[in-house]
């Protein structure tokens, strides 16, 4: 193989995607490529990997843009599981930047605007001090905070933008000279920060999530309505069946009473036949009809009624009574 061919192959060689979160931060691969790689591997960075990545970015603030890029990539609705894990890690990245941010996004009841205002104050102070490195770091922390906070359900883009502008321009009225200088620095830095573009990027990702959630809610609502209609139809049908079975039960009880009356009122015939008839009647009532009536009653009283058992028992009662009535005809002939 000639040197020219080898060189051509080297140029076309595709580097493998980063295999870990620290390698992504220190490498040149895009966030999209890293996310695709770990999604294909069906894995989530574990605690040790996330801690190592936190140490890496804490030691080198120039890696903060990689964190911002990663969290923006995770705004895609299809990455919800990975987003949930790395959102906490990215919040730790912010907390590690400044002791005053140690409890950032951890205090209950704070609005998204308040969380963003804390980060905007750091940027305002860095601009006031005129330290370019601190300004760059504070801008990236603010961008990261906007991306993370946008994942909250109560995030409001207008409120966030107003909060940032209010904090960054707060000193203008107090000192016009300083205000003009601050405004000039703010304008220059705002171009670098491109907060409007950042918020627009965040909002577009958030809208995808909201659209997906809205579609799921509509689907669940439609399914619930259909289920309610089915249940209402079932309840109406069961109510009709219960009423019918209760009427059949009442008929069976009345038939049993009629049988008793007929047997007690039977005249004539041999004493032996009368004794046999009474014994037969007792067996019928105690051995068959009474248990069947009891089972049918219990099956109808439970909630929901066990209709198949009730129907079966009532059919058995009717069959037994019909047989006995047929047998009794010999006494009336």
Q: Which two tokens stand for residue 293?
A: 């009536």
B/e letters for 290-321, b = 16+ CB within 10 Å, e = fewer, are: eebbebbeebbeeeebebeebbebbebbeebb
The closest alpha carbon to 134, from 61, 67, 69, belongs to: 61
Q: Which two tokens stand for residue 301?
A: 């009283």
112 — phi, psi (to 5°)? -60, -40
Q: Which two tokens stand for residue 134?
A: 């601190």
C-alpha to C-alpha distance for 87 and 150, rounded to whole angstroms: 11
240 prior amide bond cis, ω within 30: no
Q: Which two tokens stand for residue 148?
A: 């993370």
How many Cα atoms are found within 13 Å in the side-chain-facing hemisphere of 191? 5
Full pLDDT tens readout for the chain, 333 residues: 555 544 444 444 456 677 789 999 999 889 989 999 888 888 889 999 999 999 999 999 999 999 999 998 888 878 888 888 899 999 999 999 999 999 998 888 888 888 999 999 999 999 888 889 999 999 999 999 998 998 888 888 777 777 788 888 775 444 444 444 445 444 544 444 455 555 555 555 555 655 566 667 677 777 877 877 877 777 777 777 777 777 777 777 777 677 666 656 555 444 556 666 666 666 766 666 677 777 777 777 777 777 787 778 777 777 777 777 676 666 555
C-alpha to C-alpha distance for 146 and 148, rounded to whole angstroms: 6
B/e letters for 10-42, b = 16+ CB within 10 Å, e = fewer, are: eeeeeeebbebbbbbbebebbbebbbebbeeee
Q: How many whole angstroms from its chain centre is CA 30?
A: 30
Q: Which two tokens stand for residue 313?
A: 């028992």
- pTM here is 0.52
Q: Which two tokens stand for residue 304?
A: 């929901």
CB 120 within 8 A of CB 143: no
Task: Note the pLDDT of residue 214.
Answer: 61
Task: Note the pLDDT of residue 182.
Answer: 45
Helix, strand, coil shares of the chain, percent, nearest 5, are 80, 0, 20
C-alpha to C-alpha distance for 313 and 131, rounded to whole angstroms: 91
C-alpha to C-alpha distance for 56 and 24, rounded to whole angstroms: 11
Task: Note the pLDDT of residue 16.
Answer: 66
- Write out the DSSP string of 195-235: HHHHHHHHHHHHHHHHHHHHHHHHHHHHHHHHHHHHHHHHH
C-alpha to C-alpha distance for 136 and 192, rounded to whole angstroms: 9
- What are the sequence ranges of the domains in the chain? 1-96, 241-332
Would you tell me how many other CB atoms lie within 10 Å of the CB of residue 45?
Answer: 19
Written in H, E and C, the secondary structure of 235-271 is HHHHHHHHHHHHHHHHHHHHHHHHHHHHHHCCCCCCH
| CA R_g for the chain | 41
C-alpha to C-alpha distance for 92 and 101, rounded to whole angstroms: 10
């Amino acid at each position: 193989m000639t040197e020219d061919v080898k060189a051509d192959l080297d140029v076309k060689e595709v580097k493998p995607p980063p295999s870990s979160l620290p390698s992504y931060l220190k490498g040149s691969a895009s966030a999209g490529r890293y996310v695709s790689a770990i999604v294909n591997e069906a894995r989530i960075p574990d605690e040790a990997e996330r801690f190592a990545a936190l140490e890496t970015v804490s030691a080198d603030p120039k890696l903060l843009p990689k964190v911002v890029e990663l969290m923006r990539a995770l705004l895609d609705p299809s990455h919800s599981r990975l987003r949930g894990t790395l959102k906490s890690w990215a919040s730790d990245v912010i907390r590690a930047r400044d002791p005053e941010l140690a409890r950032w996004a951890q205090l209950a009841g704070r609005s998204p605007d308040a969380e963003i205002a804390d980060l905007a104050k750091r940027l305002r102070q860095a601009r006031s001090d005129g330290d370019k490195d601190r300004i760059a770091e504070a801008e990236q922390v603010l961008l990261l905070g906007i991306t993370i906070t946008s994942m909250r359900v109560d995030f409001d883009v207008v409120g966030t933008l107003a909060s940032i502008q209010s904090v960054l321009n707060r000193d203008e009225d107090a000192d016009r000279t300083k205000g003009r200088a601050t405004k000039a620095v703010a304008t220059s830095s705002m171009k670098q920060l491109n907060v409007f573009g950042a918020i627009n990027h965040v909002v577009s990702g958030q809208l995808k999530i909201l659209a997906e959630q809205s579609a799921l809610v509509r689907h669940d609502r439609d399914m619930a309505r259909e289920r309610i209609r089915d249940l209402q139809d079932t309840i109406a049908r069961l109510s009709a069946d219960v009423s019918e079975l209760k009427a059949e039960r009442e008929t069976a009880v009345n038939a049993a009473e009629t049988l008793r009356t007929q047997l007690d009122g039977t005249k004539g015939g041999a004493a032996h036949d009368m004794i046999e008839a009474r014994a037969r009647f007792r067996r019928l009532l105690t051995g068959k009809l009474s248990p069947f009536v009891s089972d049918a009653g219990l099956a109808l009283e439970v909630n929901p009624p066990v209709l198949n058992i009730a129907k079966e028992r009532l059919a058995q009662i009717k069959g037994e009574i019909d047989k006995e009535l047929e047998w009794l005809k010999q006494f009336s002939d």
